Amino acid sequence: MSEPEVVEGIVDEALPNTLFRVKIGDDKLVLAYLAGKMRLHRIKVLVGDRVQVQLDPYGGRARIIRRI
């Protein structure tokens, strides 16, 4: 099985239930949720933060795996 694609983006909007709208590239917005390790260690993500997201190969939600 292939590795999921990991890209950088900027948090554009914070939504309820630890969901975020992340801007990837110039024009693409994806809906992303916080990874379990980030919830476990209580890492805060705010609007404007640069993050690494792991894209779903089927086009669903992305997962925020690291704050840069």
pLDDT in tens, 13-67: 999 999 999 999 888 999 999 999 999 999 999 999 999 999 998 888 999 999 9
Position 1 scores a pLDDT of 67
Between CA 60 and CA 46 the distance in angstroms is 22
Question: In angstroms, rounded to a whole number, what is the distance separating the alpha carbons of residues 38 and 54?
Answer: 13
Q: CA–CA distance from 56 to each of 15, 23, 42, 46, 65 (Å)?
A: 19, 15, 23, 22, 13
pTM of the predicted model, to two decimals? 0.91
What per-residue confidence (pLDDT) applies to 42? 95
